Amino acid sequence: MDTSRFLLAGQPFAILPRCVLSPGSVLPPLTPPRPFLLLLAALLLGGGGATGGAVDLRAQTTTGPTAAAPSLATPAPTLTPEHEAIAFLVGDWITTSEFPDGRTAEGRLSYRWVFDGGWMKVEFRGDHPDGRLWEAHAMQRWDPDAGAYESWSFRADDVPLHYRGSAPEPGLYRIEIEGPNGSRSGIDYHRRDDGTVYQENWAINGMERRITLRTTYRAAEGGVDES
């Protein structure tokens, strides 16, 4: 039986170091630590037998006032001018997308500041016109070393994409990525006066610029997980 680890209060807890004995070796003397003595006493007193469950030593060894549990509330981020330039995206949205062939699809989208405003987290989920689940996630931030925004986009059917971005004018946020043979693709986000957002996905190959998707956002209650 391996008694080198026990579960105490649901957590692995080392009692004695494991010793591997070869023929003729002698087990060195060990001084049991205080938690082990407490466990042994609890077992002898019937507090942690085979039917007694795990023994919580934290209540027996903790002294002084109980520490307060850390708060899980997200602190308000400190926004720089670069944060403010793209803050119009933050919120929960219902999206309507139009494809070049005229088909449309709806989805739910959210933008959140995370890591005390260090990054903006993006979650999207919708129904693609082809009938498959349409899902994407992204993380984006202002990169002061590069003097530009960066965005990492993740989809199940593609490799992660690393975009660079800018805010060339108030109410416009643009991210783009270089493709093969000098091609480029990207997304423009436009803030509208009525509080909605217009998103335009585009691709440039040579001198031709094509719109690959048009999407409008309208404010929604709740996040992307709600129906």
At 76-101, the pLDDT tens digits run 667 899 999 999 999 999 999 999 99
Domain assignment present for 72: no
Rounded to 5, what percent of the chain is helix, strand, coil? 10, 45, 45
Which of helix, strand or coil describes residue 34?
helix
At 138-179, the pLDDT tens digits run 999 999 999 999 999 999 878 999 999 999 999 999 999 999
35 and 142 housed in the same domain:
no
User: Which CATH number belongs to the domain containing residue 164 in this structure?
Assistant: 2.40.128.20
How far is the first Cα of the chain from the last one, in angstroms, to the nearest whole number? 52
Higher pLDDT, 116 or 156: 116
Higher pLDDT, 138 or 58: 138
Identify the domain containing residue 201 by its residue range.
81-219
CA distance linking residue 203 with residue 198, whole number of Å: 17
Q: In the chain, which ranges are E strands?
A: 5-8, 11-14, 91-98, 104-114, 119-127, 133-143, 148-154, 161-169, 172-178, 184-191, 197-205, 208-219
Two tokens, residue 63: 């002294």
User: pTM of the predicted model, to two decimals?
Assistant: 0.66
172 and 110 housed in the same domain:
yes
100 and 199 housed in the same domain:
yes
138 and 46 housed in the same domain:
no
